[in-house]
Amino acid sequence: MPFAQTLLLTIYYGLLLLVSAVMLYRAALIFRYFLKPRGDEAPKGRFDEEPLVTVQLPVFNEQFVVDRLLETVAALDWPKDKLEIQLLDDSTDETVEISAAKVAELQRRGFDAVHVHRTDRTGYKAGALREATEVAKGEYLAVFDADFVPRPDFLRQTVDHFTDETVAFVQTRWSYLNRSYGFLTQGMGMLMDGHFVLEQVTRSRGGYLFNFNGTGGIWRRKAITDAGGWHDDTICEDTDLSYRAQLAGYRGVFLRDVDCPSELPVQITALKSQQHRWAKGLTECFFKLMPTLWRSTLPLRKKLEGSFHLGANLAFPASLFMTVVALPVMLVRMGRGAGGEFAQFMDSFVFFLVAITQVLFYIVATRESHKDWLTRLKYLPFFPLIGVGLAVNNARGVLEAMSGLRTEFVRTPKLGVLGSDRNLVKRRERTYTGGRAFWQAVVEIFLGAYYVWMAAAQLRVMPMGSFVTLVLSLGLFTMGGATLRAIAIGRAEARARLAAELA
């Protein structure tokens, strides 16, 4: 066999083994989930009286939701004299005026509220939290992003866990106010349930390292200090700090049965920005924290778990490369340069493993999260479309992290649309311009066309595989097309503004 063909097949099957390992790991998460207690751990004790809590609200251009955020925090069931509200505002638009007016109103109502407006975004969210923590009055610091709507009993459900001096942070499960908006939000809700119900529960209850999710949780201030404070050298500052705190001897508590309502992105471009940031940030944490993790005295099982967790997004460029070489590999086999029964068995085994593991993973997560879980399973076909559609987007984030490229912290837009009012979404989405990388959209559409070509080639030898490949191409066409549409709308609006100014 020619060397080029041998190298091609070696790379291909090596990547197949990597994908198999990831799928077996996800299967292990399902198995471990059922070995753990089904309920949340109870607090070690109760505080004799309510401790002083500082609520930190980092915002950036959140004009549609900041008023709601402040009003929700003011409704927390906690004594006013034991509650401080810090609105950490890096905004450059009318959010500044809205925020100042609302904070002034809360002050007149007797709340200890402060509006901290920075004129630059040094360190982005991590920088804002670092500066605010230095002057915070509370021993415990609750953090909520602008789209979160904590329930009145949030502090009652979480604070008493800090009677255990080893607890650094308490993270609650995210729930979604706008999950029923459309197929995108339903599919993303299912994906997020997999993270919060299976991954977070299994890691936290099994004593493994797990991450603070950046919002919907509360920190012990001393643990932040002992861990070295908020760092801004990654764009997943929440994961970075939570890992450093646990490596410093603290632990986290995850409460599956306490939910904190929030919003899901309703635009594909917004989703892409969010997922790009998470993929890049977790990979940055992987390279930053791996040396410390493996030098620690933690058991091997915890080191392996942490490595799988932080390095999971490395699978995106690997799977993307495997997709590109899949067609040449198939042509080599068809030309009898290699292949045979073993090759077909390997392909079938990995396909079966991926399909069964993914389906079981999200069925279990949905069943454990919702009483009407059987009805919700009709949205199951949408999560692989989203996953494949995001492959180029997330692979770009991982490659940027691997190359050390520093990029701006791009916020996920919060539009404050909880119903199905698409006209309102269209009006409000014009204030947001992220997730619109032109060349990435071109690559996504090109790869979608490549999938169609591959499906045509598969049709003769693997009809079912051809159908699956064709369906998955829809995810790439959707992601790329939505980005080009957003770019076209943005340019049309820019031309209209210019014409108006000239007139």
Q: Is 21 helix (H, G, I), strand (E, B) or coil?
A: helix
CB of 436 within 8 A of CB of 486? Answer: yes
Q: Comparing C-alpha atoms, which of 323, 45, 333 is closest to residue 165?
A: 45
* Residue 140 Cα to chain centre, angstroms: 25
* Residue 228 Cα to chain centre, angstroms: 24
Q: Comparing C-alpha atoms, which of 198, 300, 211 is closest to residue 251?
A: 211
* Residue 36 Cα to chain centre, angstroms: 24
What whole-number distance in Å separates Cα of residue 236 and Cα of residue 211? 10
CB of 24 within 8 A of CB of 60? Answer: no
> Which phi and psi angles does 47 have, rounded to 5°?
-70, 140
Please confirm, yes or no, whether 77 is among the known catalytic residues. Answer: no
Please confirm, yes or no, whether 257 is among the known catalytic residues. Answer: no
Q: In this structure, how many other beta carbons lie within 10 angstroms of the beta carbon of residue 117? A: 14
What whole-number distance in Å separates Cα of residue 433 and Cα of residue 217? 29
Which string of DSSP letters, residue by residue, matches 84-107? Answer: EEEEEE---STHHHHHHHHHHHHH
Q: Comparing C-alpha atoms, which of 265, 260, 230 is closest to residue 154?
A: 260
Q: In this structure, how many other beta carbons lie within 10 angstroms of the beta carbon of residue 287? A: 14
Which residue's structure tokens are 């991590």? 126
Instruction: Check 89, 147, 193, 238 and give the catalytic one.
Output: 238
SS3 string, 378-444, reads HHCCHHHHHHHHCHHHHHHHHHHHHHCCCCCCCCCCCCCCCCCCHHHHHHHHHHCCCCCCHHHHHHH
Instruction: Please give the structure tokens belonging to residue 176.
Output: 């979604």
Query: How much of the chain is helix, strand and coil, in % rounded to 5?
Result: 60, 10, 30
Instruction: Check 90, 145, 147, 160 and give the catalytic one.
Output: 90
Rg (CA), the chain: 24
Considering Cα of 352, then 357, then 358, then 362, what sign does the dihedral take? positive
SS3 string, 245-271, reads HHHCCCEEEEEEEEEEEECCCCCHHHH
Which string of DSSP letters, residue by residue, matches 287-300? Answer: HHHHHHHHHS---H
What whole-number distance in Å separates Cα of residue 498 and Cα of residue 492? 10
Active site residues: 90, 238
